[in-house]
A and B are shown apart, each in its own frame.
Chain A
Amino acid sequence: MMSLSCRRVAAVTLKELRDYRRNRFVIGTMAMVPVLFIILPMIQLFAANATGNHLSVHIGLSLLYLLVIPVMVPSVVSAYSVVGEREQGTLEPVLITPIRREEFLIGKALAAFVPTVLIAYAVFGIFLAAAAVFAHPVIVSAIYAGTHVLVQLLFTPLLAGWAIWVGIAVSARSTDVRAAQQLSVLASVPPLILLALMLLNVITVSTALALGFAATLLAVDLLAWRAVAAMFDRERLITGRHT
C-alpha cells in the first residue's frame, strides 16, 4: 500500500495558494464568477411571483446558478495546474523531488477545492441572507422547504471535486493552457445538467435518487485521483514523448 506524505501534499497546496494570491487572472476568475452567479439567482428570486405556478422553477433556477460556481471557479485553475507549470518550466524541478504523482495531484486539487467551496458556501450564505431580508416570506419558505438547502450544501463540494479532477486530467494530457481551460469547463458540465433536470423538476427527484447521485459523485471524486494519476506520465510531461 502506497503511503502518501501529508507534508509534501501540504507543500504543493500552500505553494498554489500563495501563487493564486498574486495571480490577477486567478483572483479575477475567483471574483467574477461568484459576482455573476449571485446576480442571476437574485434576479430569478425577485422575478418570482409568490403566488405563481412557476415558483418552484424560479427557485430551482436560482439554486442551479449557484451550483455553477463550484463548477466554473475550479475548472480554470485546475486546468492550468499541470500544463501551466509545464509551460512555465516549473514542473521539472518539482518532479525531481521525491514527490509522488499522487501527492502532487492531491496537493493541486486541495488548493483548488478549499477556496472554491469557501467561495460557493459564502455566496450561498449571501443568497439566503438576501432572500430572508428582501424576498416574500412565501418564497423564503419555499427555499427552505424540502431538500433545497441540503442539496446545495451537499452538491457544492461534490461538483467542485468533479470539476477539479476533470480539469487536472485535461491539464495532464494537454499541451496548451487555453485549450485545457476551455475543454475542462466543457467537460465539467455533464453532472450539472443532471442536477438541472432535478432542480427544474424535469426528473422527479426522490430522496433516494438524490442521495444515490451524491454517493456516485462522491465515489468518483474519491477515486478520481487514482485515475488521473495513471494519466500523469512524468516522461511525457518532461520530454513531450510517450513512454
Chain B
Amino acid sequence: MTAKYATTRQPQREASLTAGPLNPEPYGHALAVERLSKRFGERVAFEDVSFEVGYGEVFGFLGPNGAGKTTTVRTLGTLIAPSSGTAIVAGIPLSPENGPEIRSRISIMPESPGLYLRLTVMENLQCFAGLYELNDVHGRIARALRAVNLEDRAGDLCGALSKGLRQRVALARALLNDPAVLFLDEPTSGLDPVATREVYELITSLRDQGVTILLTTHRLQEAERLCHRVAILNTTLRMIGRPDELREQLFSRSLDVRLRKPLDDPEAVLRALPGVEGWEQVPSGYTLTVTDPEVAAPQVARVLVSTGADILSLSESRHSLEDVYLQLLDEDVEEKR
C-alpha cells in the first residue's frame, strides 16, 4: 500500500466502539455527507441526507426496499451524480472530476457479486488489480483471498462456485485496493443461513481490523450485530445513532412484570408504586413506564410482594432495533395518510 493510503485506515479506537459520531480528530471523517439529494425527474430517490462516518467505524444504512440506500451508495461512489448537496468521500470532495480519485480510494460490493463467471477466481481478481493499477498483484490477491478464506479456490471458475462463495470472491475483490471506505450493499441478500453467517464473520473480522464500512441492509439483526451506529433511511434520513440510543430516543423506559395471577385492583397498586409514571396490562402481565428501571425495579418488587402478589419475573423491557425501525416506518405511513 502506498503511503497515501497508510493514514486512511487507522486502528480502531475505544471511542469508536462506544461513542456516537467518532472524534474527527486527528484523522477526519471517512465520509461527511451534507444535505445530499438525488432525484430522477419527479421521483425522489433520497433527499436531504446528512451524516458522518469516522475512520474505523461500521455504519449501518437501514431502510425498506426503495428507500434510497443503494442510490445513496452509488452517489457516494461517483456512479451517479447528486441533484444537490455535498459530500467528502475518503477525504476527497464529491465531484465528477474527482470520480477516478475517489473510486481508487473506496470499494463497493454491490448486491449482486457481478463476477465474470467464465473466468477463474484468480483471473477475476487479476483483472480488478489491473483496473486499480495495483503493485504487488500476486501478494495483494493472496492477502485478499486469505481474508475471505478462499486461498484454495483461486483456480476455480467463478461459474462453478456457490452463491455464498461468489459473495466471498466479491468481498475479496472489494478488499484488493485496501479501501479507505468499504461500501457493502446488502451483502447477505439471497444467501442461506450458513453463507450469511460466514459473511457476518468476515465483516466482523474486517471491523476488528479497523476497516471503515458502510453497510446497507434491511436485515435489522445484521445491523444490530455488526454496526457501531445505524441510520434509518426512508427517502429522508429518519434517525441516526447507536442502536441503544435509537431505542432510548423512541421508546420510554419500562419494566415488564409477570405475576402468577392478575392483581385484583391494578390501578390502585401500580399507580402507587414509586418511580412508576404509567402502566398497561399486556397478555403476559403488566408493562410499567418508569424513569429509571434500575431504581424502580427493587422498589416495585418490594411493594408487589408486600401486597401478596407472586412475581414470576421482573425485567427491563428490551426494544429491538426492529421495534425502532417498524415504529419509524409506521410513523411515515401515518404521515402519508
Contact = CB atoms under 8 A, between A and B. Distances in A.
Do A and B pair up? The answer is: yes
Interface of A: 5, 7-8, 10-12, 14-15, 18-19, 22-23, 88-100, 234-235, 238-239, 241, 243
Interface string B96-121: 00001101100110101111111100
Contacts of B100: 98-100
Contact of A235 (B79, B103, B118, B119): B79
Given A11-B130, A15-B119, A239-B80, 8 more contacts: A88-B116, A98-B100, A98-B103, A98-B133, A238-B74, A238-B79, A239-B74, A241-B41
B69 to A, nearest CB: 14
Contacts of A12: 127, 131
B118 A23 contact: yes
A95 B128 CA distance: 11
A139 to B, nearest CB: 44
A8 B127 CA distance: 9
A4 to B, nearest CB: 11
Contact of A7 (B79, B108, B130): B130
Contacts of A95: 79
Contacts of B104: 97-98
B5 interface: no
Given A11-B130, A97-B131, A92 B79 contact: yes
B148 to A, nearest CB: 16
Nearest to A8: B131
Contact of B114 (A7, A93, A241): A93
User: Contact residue range for chain B?
Assistant: 20 to 34
B133 A8 contact: yes
A163 to B, nearest CB: 24
B77 interface: yes
Interface in B154-169: none
B114 A97 contact: no
Q: Which of A15, A22, A23, A93 has the most CB of B within 10 A?
A: A93
B128 A97 contact: yes
Interface majority SS (helix, strand, loop, mixed), chain A: helix
Interface of B: 40-41, 71, 74, 77, 79-81, 100-101, 103-104, 107-108, 110, 112-119, 123, 126-133, 170, 173
Contacts of B127: 11-12, 14-15
Contact of A97 (B110, B117, B118, B132): B132
A15 B133 contact: no
B130 A18 contact: no
Contacts of B108: 92-93, 96
| In the complex, the 7 A-B pairs of residues with the closest C-beta atoms, listed nearest first | A11-B130, A97-B131, A98-B104, A22-B118, A98-B100, A93-B114, A15-B127
B302 to A, nearest CB: 61
A12 B53 CA distance: 33
A241 B41 CA distance: 9
Nearest to A235: B80
B114 A18 contact: no
A10 B128 CA distance: 11
Contacts of B123: 15, 18
A9 to B, nearest CB: 9
A14 B130 contact: yes
Contacts of A22: 118-119
Contacts of B79: 92, 95-96, 234-235, 238
Contacts of A14: 126-127, 130
Contacts of B116: 15, 19, 88, 90
